[in-house]
Structure 1
């Protein structure tokens, strides 16, 4: 299990999900010969008739790209005078409703709503915030911020300042402000300096200077960090992840390890998250739904491949043994094939 994360061979040259173009490694692609009016008729029939035909809702909404679903939403409102969102909420419930609503939400708005949900009510869902801000590109975070501002007339970072505290807050705010360097050129000398600074801030001193870890991990570019991880292992004999796990605890450890994993391999990080959402008694449907929908047009094929590598059975078989009913059918449809 650990060996995947300990292996730094070829890390500097391997492709990164942060630069993947949407549509290349997703399980959901635009439908050829797409006809919004035809889909609206099918959805109306599924919703207005006696009892809801969930299988039709699932079939239409999981086999169209998000851009196509937005066109369906517009056409649906023109045809019925109601929004598809209202009708889905009125006609379905529970996890299936959450999943169908997620599918008809534009990606940036969906990320934004998940961040809102994580901060609603008493306490915050730190794991959800960590997953979102660690695995999203700077462009995705920027888009999320714009939707948040438009919908609430306030900055997401202001809300985060109210909800979070301490070093977790400091680190998440850097990520949420989109402070990560976007450069693709790697400065090896700088990587050596940063690696030494991290070593001095952690392994090589009594106590840990967490702020140094936060500053470097939340602001350097992805290619630069990959080189830094290689240099760090040369200096300390351990991977940076091993050092963080040995030196820190709690939410800050979870966030910094998530960043390290995402710098190395976003799909593998999300495959682990999916595994833990289904492992043991009960299912964490919120995490499962969020990852399946948000990655369905980005890198879900890669997530499936990493899942199989890590656990020696397919993501589809994990879903089949963990979920049932319409919600299970909908998640399976997003997952696509078996591996």
Structure 2
């Protein structure tokens, strides 16, 4: 599922202005040279992993789409299929993620979270709390075009989640959060009062009020509401949610608050947790580092160092190894 050539060229042009990613468009990019190198690496005796890493981690996603399209034209085979056939494990998952368009990658992660027995709410929470309206709508369009499940992403989500968590998640999945950049100070005070009276001030919690405000208001408006809430309650809104609620809805609303305050810090924390405890959560490492590599990974690295006192690069070096580790560290960029 690739874009047209004109769409990709337009995408390349628009994304040249991005400054906070660790991965940028390769300046002397030559599609045919990349296709030749990849074919040699894949079709030769054994697979030359170093070539796969060098080519795929040092190109923007839009450039990778051009390479994938030219590769299929030259070989009659999909690049994704060849990568899946020649590599394995976390390294395979990372390379496949790199050659997948962002909306399709998010879409695949949502499907992974809801298919089979049980639902991985942590993936759904991370994606829907942190994505913009446009990213969510692009994901929904991709889901529809891909003929997944019942065709509509929101319908499939509805069948997998329940209760207050479902109410909040399904509002976010509509991709209709207010996008106004102006802040209504009086409205922020009013919302803060509503939240205080729905939680801290009453016996029991009116979760619907929290869900309505946190899932509908614009990010700038919510930032002001957080300030006003602290003035009224003397506690942060995050602290109130954590003391008043539990389960998946608590985690989702806390994730929204964290993203309102600082999206890179939210992802830095997610990365930190993925490398703590028993074993490393490679799927989260892959999703965040690939997904944010052209958006704000430089800021995530800065927040990581600020929050945890060590660089993300050095943490990765100690936690992941082999071809997978090498590719991840290249995407992460140089040591701070």
- For normalisation by structure 1, the TM-score amounts to 0.93
Deviation of 1:281 (Å): 2.1
From 41, 61, 64, the equivalent of 1:66 is 61
- Asked if 1:96 corresponds to 2:60, the answer is no
CA distance in 2, matches of 1:331, 1:145: 28
- Residue 6 of structure 1 corresponds to which residue in structure 2? none
CA distance in 2, matches of 1:317, 1:270: 17
From 191, 195, 213, the equivalent of 1:194 is 191
Relative to structure 1, is the Cα distance of residues 273 and 207 closer, same or farther in structure 2, using a 3 angstrom cutoff?
A: same
- What are the residue-to-residue correspondences of 1:34-113 with 2, within 5 Å? 34-113=29-108
- Residue 148 of structure 1 corresponds to which residue in structure 2? 143
Deviation of 1:33 (Å): 1.2
Deviation of 1:51 (Å): 1.1
- What are the residue-to-residue correspondences of 1:1-339 with 2, within 5 Å? 23-152=18-147, 154-339=151-336
Deviation of 1:104 (Å): 0.3
Secondary structure at the residue paired with 2:154?
A: helix
CA distance in 2, matches of 1:42, 1:233: 57
Secondary structure at the residue paired with 1:152?
A: coil
Deviation of 1:22 (Å): 6.9
CA distance in 1, matches of 2:17, 2:204: 43
Deviation of 1:109 (Å): 0.8
- Residue 5 of structure 1 corresponds to which residue in structure 2? none
Contact 2:53 2:327 in 1 (8 A): yes
Deviation per CA, 1:196-241: give whole Å up to 9, x if none: 0000000000110111000000000000000000000000101100
Deviation of 1:263 (Å): 0.3
Contact 1:22 1:298 in 2 (8 A): no
Gaps of at least 5 residues in structure 2 are: 1-14
Contact 1:232 1:239 in 2 (8 A): yes
Contact 2:16 2:25 in 1 (8 A): no
CA distance in 2, matches of 1:24, 1:220: 27
CA distance in 2, matches of 1:34, 1:251: 44
CA distance in 1, matches of 2:134, 2:296: 16
Deviation of 1:27 (Å): 0.3
CA distance in 2, matches of 1:21, 1:81: 30
CA distance in 2, matches of 1:23, 1:128: 26
Deviation of 1:155 (Å): 1.1
- Residue 10 of structure 1 corresponds to which residue in structure 2? none
Deviation per CA, 1:120-173: give whole Å up to 9, x if none: 100110000000000101111111111011112611100011011101001000
CA distance in 1, matches of 2:213, 2:152: 24
- Residue 12 of structure 1 corresponds to which residue in structure 2? none
CA distance in 1, matches of 2:335, 2:18: 19
Secondary structure at the residue paired with 1:244?
A: helix
CA distance in 1, matches of 2:17, 2:23: 10
Paired residues, number: 320
- For normalisation by structure 2, the TM-score amounts to 0.94
CA distance in 1, matches of 2:70, 2:16: 28
Deviation of 1:112 (Å): 0.8
